[in-house]
Amino acid sequence: MLTVLNLSSSDARTTEDIFTGSSHPMPTGRIFGGQVLAQAIIAAERTTDDDRVPHSMHGYFLRPGDASQGLTISVDRIHDGRSFSTRRTQAFQGGVPIFSMIASFEREDVGLDHHAPAPEGVAPPEELLARRDGHPVHPLSARLLEESPIESVHVDGDVYSRPAESREPRQAVWMRTRRPIGDDPAIHRAVLA
One-letter amino acid at 121 equals G
Q: Is the distance from CB of 175 to CB of 155 less than 8 angstroms? A: no
N- to C-terminal Cα distance for the chain? 13
pLDDT tens readout for residues 135-164: 556 666 666 666 677 877 777 766 665 666
C-alpha 127/C-alpha 148 separation (Å) is 20
78 has pLDDT over 90: yes
pTM of the model: 0.76
**CA torsion 108→109→114→117, rounded to 10°?**
80
Question: What structural domains and CATH numbers belong to the chain?
Answer: 2-108 (3.10.129.10), 125-176 (no CATH)
Q: What is the pLDDT of residues 86-108, one digit of tens each?
A: 999 999 999 999 999 999 999 98
